[in-house]
Structure 1
């Protein structure tokens, strides 16, 4: 969606904290000013699982089903490191799960809660609720790029990435109208997140913050 500053002139997309340099981080950065709140910025996580605990529960993962007009381009490169690639995959699923919750107008959707907990989940719930309150959802193409994954010795992972919302917008359910707004530097958002592998082998987002207009993400 055009998770740009306006949704209904102010559907304060509040999905996480505006990156005070911790996008995708837990606390919604104070920088997540109402107009700066980004979709999908949530946090959550469980105790780390041992490396041997692979995603054996993959069959239990929620099925992501989105409207045909909600599309993505994940320009993330395979790192060649199974753990790092798993982090990227689970973040991708979390992002889609949040948009599915928005499309289905369900602030407590099991899908995004599968990939986030704590402050992250709370941030996503609030973000999704705003769409529900305005009877709106996302539409269009969102691109993700410039990813940087770091695995830490304490069993957590840090991920920085950019989001291009220039071709994503808000669509109102009652009228079917799409709110196409001008593209500005704020259509490019940087996220910083902390994740931890849970007992089921899923990389769950624990911290998430974001910041619009980041120089690192400009085209």
Structure 2
């Protein structure tokens, strides 16, 4: 079966099964809609990471994806700087996940920097699902309709949609390319985040649901 290549490892039973078997694969509270309406510079060889200082002064790894795999983030701006910070770090965590696969490194510095708790465990397992099969990502992905929230207890949530329709996996040993079926391309991400004392929003949990973006 075709690997659903953009679905980051999840904490719900059905999606976890897909991961382990390698099958085709404004401020407020944490309660959000289960559906979302609407459906860097790049180098040639591999993803790269270098440190950079964010607007809060915290030093963050800077991830650069190769030209062979492009990701567009549509509508990832917010007039509230606190919510924009959630968007920025949530975006970098997703980019770091892709970079880890391209780098064939489940312990990639950026992925481990932006992840902790369950998101760190499932994220590294997800990357291993590709590296163990000699797969890398190619093509294009689109990430859109982000919904950031900060709850009264200070925790964050970030929902967004990913369109996998123009993405594929490539076997680095055989050269075989497997495309994502267009009719199964939209995935809803639900993530939880925690703000560190240094001001970084680290992702603590990731859930995905195919078909929940309309």
Same fold by TM-score, threshold 0.5 exceeded? yes
Q: Is 1:206 aligned to residue 204 of structure 2?
A: yes
Q: Is 1:34 aligned to residue 41 of structure 2?
A: no
Cα RMSD, aligned residues only: 2.2
1:37-52 alignment runs, 5 A limit: none
CA contact (8 A) 2:2 2:178 kept: no
Q: 1:132 to 1:77 in 2, by over 3 A?
A: closer
Q: 1:145 to 1:56 in 2, by over 3 A?
A: same
Give the equivalent residue in structure 1 for 2:126. 127
Number of residue pairs aligned between Structure 1 and Structure 2: 181
SS in 2 for 1:99: helix
CA contact (8 A) 1:107 1:126 kept: yes
Deviation at 1:76, TM superposition (A): 2.2
Give the equivalent residue in structure 2 for 1:144. 143
- Structure 2: give runs of 5+ residues left out of the alignment: 23-54
Give the equivalent residue in structure 2 for 1:56. 57
CA contact (8 A) 2:142 2:163 kept: yes
Q: Is 1:16 aligned to residue 9 of structure 2?
A: yes
Deviation at 1:15, TM superposition (A): 3.0
Give the equivalent residue in structure 2 for 1:22. none
Q: Is 1:196 aligned to residue 211 of structure 2?
A: no
Deviation at 1:149, TM superposition (A): 1.3
Q: Deviations over 1:110-144 (max 9, x none)?
A: 11111010110111100000111100111111111
Q: What is the rounded CA distance, in whole Å, between the counterparts of 1:63 and 1:146 in structure 2?
A: 23
Q: 1:178 to 1:68 in 2, by over 3 A?
A: same
- Structure 1: give runs of 5+ residues left out of the alignment: 18-27, 39-53
Deviation at 1:94, TM superposition (A): 0.7
Deviation at 1:36, TM superposition (A): 6.7
Q: Deviations over 1:67-124 (max 9, x none)?
A: 2111111112421000111111111111111111111111111111110101101111
Q: What is the rounded CA distance, in whole Å, between the counterparts of 2:180 and 2:5 in structure 1?
A: 15
Q: What is the rounded CA distance, in whole Å, between the counterparts of 2:127 and 2:12 in structure 1?
A: 18
Give the equivalent residue in structure 1 for 2:172. 173
SS in 2 for 1:56: coil
1:75-114 alignment runs, 5 A limit: 75-114=74-113
Deviation at 1:61, TM superposition (A): 1.3
Give the equivalent residue in structure 2 for 1:20. none
Q: What is the rounded CA distance, in whole Å, between the counterparts of 2:64 and 2:99 in structure 1?
A: 7
| More deviation, 29-38/108-117 | 29-38
Q: What is the rounded CA distance, in whole Å, between the counterparts of 2:173 and 2:81 in structure 1?
A: 44
CA contact (8 A) 1:142 1:166 kept: yes
TM normalised by structure 2 equals 0.77
